[in-house]
Structure 1
Amino acid sequence: MDMEVRWREILKILIKSKGPLTTEDIARKLKVSSRTIRNDLDKIQEFLVPFGVRVVKKPRTGVYIEGASEKKAELLDRISQSDSFYVEPYSQQEREKYIIWKLLQAEKNLTTQQLADELYVSKATIYKDLDYVEKWLARHGLKLVRKPNYGVEIAGSEENFRKAISDFLVNNGAVDELKELVQNPLIHPLDRRLNPDIFAQLV
């Protein structure tokens, strides 16, 4: 069995398990030695950090994946769909959409560190993503304000805010896709900014 395939299978087994498993349990399922599994687990650990989960090994208890249920579900989905173990937690396009949506519904500034933590990437990557976000906002008559030691926020008229939000919803599968993307229901900033008639048509 190819090493990357085995790593994905180990993760699938651990994520789907209802409790801790011993390395012997995993080894039997994959028809390899316990030593191989122990070595694999050490190597897998470093690649899990961006996904917000980690491998926990407890003596006389076993091995399990620690992390929020939604993070484990997301990881399982990604390793099931990919041919490679080395999967970016979010694509560039997903990050750009996420940042735009966060900014459109934010009531106060967002820091680049906050965005980097939420998307499991470096601040340098966020800076690059913001270049695209800035262009997208400009096309909608809005400005991305960047202030050192403060963060980023959108400046512009309420009319342009409403148009930008409406356009974003329409071009991204309306509410259903956005709920999945942001993992959060539509909240009060949008209630104020989005034209009620347009919103009613979308939902």
Structure 2
Amino acid sequence: MANHTHIQNMYCIGRNYRLHAVELGNEVPEEPMVFTKPSHAVAPMNGETVTIPGSVGEVHFELEIVLRVGESYKPGMAPDDMFDAMTLGLDLTLRDVQSKLKAKGHPWLAAKGFKNSAPLGEWIDYPGEADLKEGEFKLIRGGEVAQHGFPKDMLFGVSELAKHIEANFGLGPGDLIFTGTPAGVAALRDGDVLEAFWGERKLGSCTISMT
């Protein structure tokens, strides 16, 4: 069971997998695209129900590797050494709301930061960037593969993300980084059962309730 009590800042990376950027018709970024979610967005992905809005348009799932910062950066430290744990999480997105905000040039908070928009699975030891790149992760919806991601396909790797965020915004113990989602995002349906796998290990599951 993940411990959600000491989460500080949650930094999220947009468009960090080329095919996901393309599927939404977005340009591929030239540097990490960072946005945030409130810590109140977190919900445990522990087999129980996650309740999300159902009256403001489509809600899309986006499965992501989530990294937890264990210690602050010190000069000479490899950025990768800042992390002590990882899990899989969902960056749930009110897609119709986001489209309207983007058209107006407004911030994404209403589309990305609503309550329960960041379900998180079980924390496991962070293996280091080199081993992480050799892994794979999947989102299973209703028994079928909805997303299948490979960390080696990230446009900006773990160390690059840590270095960029630390330099521009700061990183400290308890901060999380949602590292971006691969292609395959789609709208959720009321009653959907979602399961998140790192390799063969299930790190989280939940049932979606739309109200």
Question: Under TM normalisation by the shorter chain, which class is it?
Answer: under 0.3
**Structure with higher RCO (Cα < 8 A, 6+ apart):** 2
State the structure with more CA Rg. Answer: 1
- Give the structure with the larger helix fraction: 1
**Normalising by the residue count of structure 2, what TM-score does the alignment of the two structures yield?**
0.23
